[in-house]
Amino acid sequence: MSVQKATNIHWHAGNITREERWAALKARGCTMWFTGLSASGKSTIASALEQHLVSRGVHCYRLDGDNIRFGLNKNLGFSAEDRAENIRRIGEVAKLFADSGCVALTSFISPYRKDRDLCRELHEKDKAGASGGGGMPFLEVFVDTPIEVCELRDPKGLYKKARAGELKGFTGIDDPYEAPLKPELVLKPERMSVEESVVACLDLLAARGVITR
Amino acid sequence: MSVQKATNIHWHAGNITREERWAALKARGCTMWFTGLSASGKSTIASALEQHLVSRGVHCYRLDGDNIRFGLNKNLGFSAEDRAENIRRIGEVAKLFADSGCVALTSFISPYRKDRDLCRELHEKDKAGASGGGGMPFLEVFVDTPIEVCELRDPKGLYKKARAGELKGFTGIDDPYEAPLKPELVLKPERMSVEESVVACLDLLAARGVITR
């Protein structure tokens, strides 16, 4: 292997700090955590927000069932223990994305307050991690669609199966959904268009200094 | 909540594809997988490369023991099963970063060929995932420092403990290190400066179209 003389590579021993990273990338990371019932509209809104941010050149990435349940978390089932571990891993991965300077969007029912609060804590308390610096914004977005509306939509027929007893432990039917007590944002998809919801998310991101409008 | 009229939000139903994302971000994702013995120099080189890329404005993120073992994988030990799961999860997370348009660097001993090959397969076969498109580059970088050199360095005193029998299953002492058969790059830290190793990595990234020189 011929070795090229490196004249323009400068580095310091040790890790780059979060501040150095975000400043160099002209980016600020955060996690926007969408929570709500099945068929509430979480993924539609998060996907539209992702498209908008990416089209503006903002590194943004969405974690959802498609890329998590069949990948990182494919060895988890639906027991209480596995559900908690599912959300914990998603929280940890979102935190890594946020640390990297990316706007991480997560789109999971995440029905239990305790699990979501753990993810919030992971972000807000990560002040002295590998890359140093202050905690990271964790923005909880409650997609507040009434269960009657979700059940009418039922795009995958899951509510029907749950009502028929073919699906056990289905959120909103025979398992509780614990609504956030102090979400950073509440969206009402049955009264707002997808575009209006995206604007509300952008306003929140701008208010927190994550993006500029 | 006052709803601002959204006149400049455009989106299409469904997910953004990987091609659309990478084009909009003017970025190409990949995973550069550093493998080698403990104290071989993996993290020093990966950290220097990360600093250089980030300073150029390239989204780059390093997964290493500091941010993985104490976070995502804190519930894993050192049994054979847990070691395989450790590497599998790292491979899945690196793949998500690569998909997002980030240059993911992983810095783990990852001694078993089978585990590394699984991670390669995850990347190269992910052609029809959530965000569509072709497979993603997986660049295996063998940090080939002889064990005698690693053992002399021994910054954490781990080789000493392993020789004394206080650490069981230590790679290179009483557990095998399976060197890559066809790594994309071999670095020889005892004969190359950190800067020269970084340049070799940059050359490889440029040759694969991940960055421009």
Q: What confidence score (pLDDT) does residue B7 get?
A: 52
**Number of Cβ pairs < 8 A linking chain A and chain B:** 159
Low-confidence ranges of chain A (pLDDT < 70): 1-8, 128-134
Q: What is the ipTM of this complex?
A: 0.93
Q: What confidence score (pLDDT) does residue A79 get?
A: 85
CB-based contact, B67 to chain A, within 8 Å: yes
**Which residues in B lie closer than 8 A to residue A12 (C-beta atoms)?**
51
**Range 91-120 of B in CB contact (< 8 A) with A:** 92-93, 95-97, 99-102
**Which residues in A lie closer than 8 A to residue B67 (C-beta atoms)?**
96, 99, 129-131
Residue B9 Cα distances to A52, B5, B18, B130, B167, angstroms: 7, 10, 20, 22, 58
CB-based contact, B155 to chain A, within 8 Å: no
> Which domains does chain A carry?
26-146+176-207 (3.40.50.300)
Q: Do B14 and A101 touch (CB under 8 A)?
A: no
Best residue in B17, B31, B58, B61 to probe A by mutation, most A CBs within 10 Å?
B61
Tens of pLDDT, residue by residue, chain B (213 residues):
344 455 567 777 778 999 999 999 999 999 999 999 999 999 999 999 999 999 999 999 999 988 898 899 999 988 889 999 999 999 999 999 999 999 999 999 999 999 999 999 999 998 754 444 568 999 999 999 999 999 999 999 999 999 999 999 999 999 999 999 999 999 999 999 999 999 999 999 999 999 998
CB-based contact, B44 to chain A, within 8 Å: yes
Q: Using an 8 Å Cβ cutoff, are B140 and B30 in contact?
A: no
CB-based contact, A24 to chain B, within 8 Å: yes
Which residues face B33 on adjacent strands? B106, B140
Residue A105 Cα distances to A123, A180, B101, angstroms: 13, 17, 15
Three-point CA angle A102, A103, A105, nearest 5°: 130
As a whole number of angstroms, the distance between CA B135 and CA B181 comes to: 21
